[in-house]
Amino acid sequence: NLPQRVRLFEMAPRDGLQNEPGAMVPTETKIELIHRLANAGIRYIEAASFVSPKWVPQMGDAVEVMRGISREPGVVYSALTPNLQGFENALAAGVEEVAVFGAASDSFSQKNINCSIAESLKRFEPVLNRALDAGVRVRGYVSCVLGCPYEGDIAPQSVAQVARALHDMGCYEISLGDTIGVGTPLAAKRMIDAVGQQVPVDQLAAHFHDTYGMAIANLYAVMEEGVSVIDAATAGLGGCPYAKGASGNVATEDVLYLLEGLGIETGINLEAVLETGYWMTSQLGRKPGSKVALARGNC
Ligand code: HMG
Ligand code: MG
């Protein structure tokens, strides 16, 4: 009972680049990346992050990125907004969808957004109220759903509680982040089963990082549980500034290869994404982190 169609949410411009060490990735490069992703048929792109530039310098040009992109009809260009200040900046820059991001671990919440889980939920409430008034859809993230860099194992019940709170607040979808990529398929299934008791499974997304090479197996496992929205980053770009050693999101190319093999539709052109991955990593002076790109050998 796999889904017939998967909605892919592309993370490379945000999760992919937020942790890029060294020089700032030029705004024009980010804009071109977003254009190339849209041209490849991707319909959901997390384009920027309205967080503190002191905390995450690479996202400091969020306004310029959001104002600089040519919007293709039917494509959603979203951004992270941790608080009301971020939301107002995002709204002024023309963002039509935003995301708040919480965690299932208090220690990670403190390191990442400088407050506890309970405080974060209080901060998100005015963002949700303001966004829903302004007709802006809000996605909710829960980090550390399969493990925390500071606390180790995380109980599925803790994930379910935070997911439920975000859903009750009005988030249209809850994206479940294996932030440090430590999950394995059975743990991923159990986590989805617990969260699915609190939030309808068709409103859940899988946001898996590939640190231990388990992301594809974990995605297969949660698709069997009914999850049909997948977050991924072209070329497997990224990592989290507050989770040392974490690698990027599962590569979009690898997810598309899996889905094509399973006969699951996405509407996305794998060859165009591969091309985009080569181009983007050449801009960064690296090779793509995607297995499919490696197999093709022309990078
Ligand atoms: P804080 O220091 O507690 O905030 O940071 P504050 O309200 O006390 O404000 C302090 C200063 O920050 C003030 O400036 C504010 O104006 C400024 P000052 O007066 O000192 O000059 N400030 C802001 N500036 C720009 N935009 C804003 C903003 N808010 C306050 N929105 C805050 C709290 C949340 C802002 C901070 O901790 C932060 O920016 N954290 C960033 C965390 C982050 O981006 N992490 C990576 C993304 S999450 C992730 O990757 C996980 C995910 O992929 C899922 C997964 O994999 O699990 C989503
Ligand atoms: Mg992430």
260 in Cβ contact with 292 (< 8 Å): no
Q: How far away, in angstroms, is 279 Cα from ligand 1 center?
A: 30
d(C-alpha 225, C-alpha 219), whole Å: 10
d(C-alpha 84, C-alpha 12), whole Å: 24
How confident is the model at residue 242, as a pLDDT?
A: 67
Q: What are the residues facing 98 on neighbouring strands?
A: 79, 138
Residue 145 Cα: closest atom of ligand 1:
57
Q: For ligand 1, which residues put their CB under 6 angstroms from it?
A: 15, 18, 49-52, 55-56, 80, 82-83, 85-86, 101, 112-114, 141, 143, 177, 179, 207, 209, 240-242
Q: How far away, in angstroms, is 249 Cα from ligand 2 center?
A: 6
Helices 117-133 and 84-92, interaxial angle, to 10°?
30
How confident is the model at residue 22, as a pLDDT?
A: 84
Q: What are the residues facing 48 on neighbouring strands?
A: 79
In terms of Cβ atoms closer than 10 Å to its own Cβ (0-12, 13-18, 19+), residue 122 is exposed
Give ipTM to 2 decimals. 0.98
d(C-alpha 287, C-alpha 296), whole Å: 12
d(C-alpha 99, C-alpha 110), whole Å: 18
SS in 3 state form for the chain? CCCCECEEEECHHHHHCCCCCCCCCCHHHHHHHHHHHHHCCCCEEEEEECCCCCCCHHHCCHHHHHHHCCCCCCCEEEEECCCHHHHHHHHHCCCCEEEEEEECCHHHHHHHHCCCHHHHHHHHHHHHHHHHHCCCEEEEEEECCCCECCCECCCHHHHHHHHHHHHHHCCCEEEEEECCCCCCHHHHHHHHHHHHCCCCHHHEEEEEECCCCCHHHHHHHHHHCCCCEEEEEHHHCCCECCECCCCCECEHHHHHHHHHHCCCECCCCHHHHHHHHHHHHHHHCCCCCCHHHHHHCCC
204 in Cβ contact with 227 (< 8 Å): yes
Residue 18 Cα: closest atom of ligand 1:
46
How confident is the model at residue 21, as a pLDDT?
A: 87
Q: How far away, in angstroms, is 15 Cα from ligand 2 center?
A: 6
Helices 156-169 and 185-196, interaxial angle, to 10°?
40
- Catalytic residue positions, numbered: 240
d(C-alpha 109, C-alpha 103), whole Å: 6
Residues of the chain under the 70 pLDDT cut: 239-243, 245, 298-299
Residue nearest to atom 8 of ligand 1 (CA): 114
Instruction: For residue 240, give both structure tokens.
Output: 């989290």
How confident is the model at residue 53, as a pLDDT?
A: 97
Q: What are phi and psi of 228, to 5 degrees?
A: -135, 15
d(C-alpha 241, C-alpha 112), whole Å: 8
